Amino acid sequence: MIIMDKEQQKEILALVKDWFRTVILPNHIMNTKKLANPDNFNINPFLVPYIAGFLTGELTSDSVAKALLYPRILGTSITTSFGQNMQKFISDVLKNSFGSMVAGIDIEFIDAIDGRRKYCQAKLGPNTINKDDVVTIHNHFKAAKNLGRTNNVAVQHGDLVVGVIYGEQGEESNHYQKLRDEYDYPLYIGQEFWHRLTGAPGFYQDLRLAIAEVAVEAKGSEIIGDVINTLAKTDTVKNLTGKLFIPINQVRLNLFDLIDSLGRNITTNNPSNQHLSNQISLPSKSLIFQESHLEIVMVGAATLGNSVIVI
């Protein structure tokens, strides 16, 4: 068995961590910070408040902001970025260490288990090729075998392999199965691929931990907290909770003009224009006037100081 020594394994892990720091992480942080603007969401006004309540047990601006943010930054955003950039991982990291001079072959390596030189098409995950890729990969392998024959290099059919960077046996798509079962190309997925490449059975786990360490270094929870705080203060998010906050310095009309613009007849406890009452009652909403802001409460209740006013 041919085993890559510890220093070589560390070099590969260092290359992977550096690549994630410089390619994946900056994109993840940038895409997260963009989401402080609610315009970057396609908001379902029925589903988002429901998710907020289900997630936190309450309907507040913070819970709505979390319901909007978490699925994007922990799901679609990073998944899309990862998929788009991992083909660069193959060329930037693997080809630098195991690059092949043979056209159509991504990497060459000495298989640590059987000791033979392998000519490998490296792919990202167990569902990342389509029907046309099957024919393309087969043609690349035929060309590589013919080139070996021309150059008197013995390339056996079993030396032409498909390596899948992550995944588990049994997760492979029908297209991978066709390459393996109909074209008889060995298929190495996840742990087996990295074992054969490095000679270390546990390298796949080491690789996953190295990638996770990069995320820990980023202190993403602090970035996420800042975005949630900013997002929660927006009118769009407050509207989803039923409460709209309007800073007084943004209102260019006095309270009576505002009420009049709503088309409501009102009465106040104190008609003086200079000493407005704290509450003006309306049939379906309550306006609370304070020094710093005006709150329009749409859900039938309003807060004033430590008291709750039920409409």
304: Cα within 13 Å, side-chain hemisphere:
18
Through-space distance between the first and last CA atoms of the chain, rounded to whole angstroms: 79
Residue 56 confidence (pLDDT) above 60? yes
Query: Which comes out higher in pLDDT, residue 174 or 96?
Result: 174
Say whether pLDDT at 191 is over 70.
yes
User: Is 31's pLDDT higher than 60?
Assistant: yes
pLDDT digits (tens, 9 = 90+) for 208-255: 999 999 999 998 999 999 999 999 999 999 999 986 544 444 444 444
Chain segment 114-171, per-residue pLDDT in tens: 999 999 999 989 998 999 999 999 999 999 999 988 888 888 999 999 999 999 999 9
Lowest mean pLDDT among 146-155, 173-182, 196-205, 293-302: 293-302
Kindly tell me if the per-residue pLDDT of 286 is higher than 50: no
306 compared with 169, residue with greater pLDDT: 169
Dist CA 120 CA 82 (whole Å): 22
Residue 244: predicted pLDDT: 54
Domains of the chain in start order, with CATH, are: 6-221 (3.40.1560.10), 242-310 (no CATH)
For residue 183, count CB atoms less than 10 angstroms from its CB and return exposed for 0-12, middle for 13-18, buried for 19 or more: middle
pTM above 0.75, yes or no: no
Mean pLDDT of 266-284: 40
8 Å CB contact between 148 and 154: yes
pLDDT of residue 3: 64
Q: How confident is the model at residue 30 (pLDDT cuts 50, 70, 90)?
A: very high
pLDDT, average across residues 31-60: 96
Q: Please give the pLDDT value at position 88.
A: 77
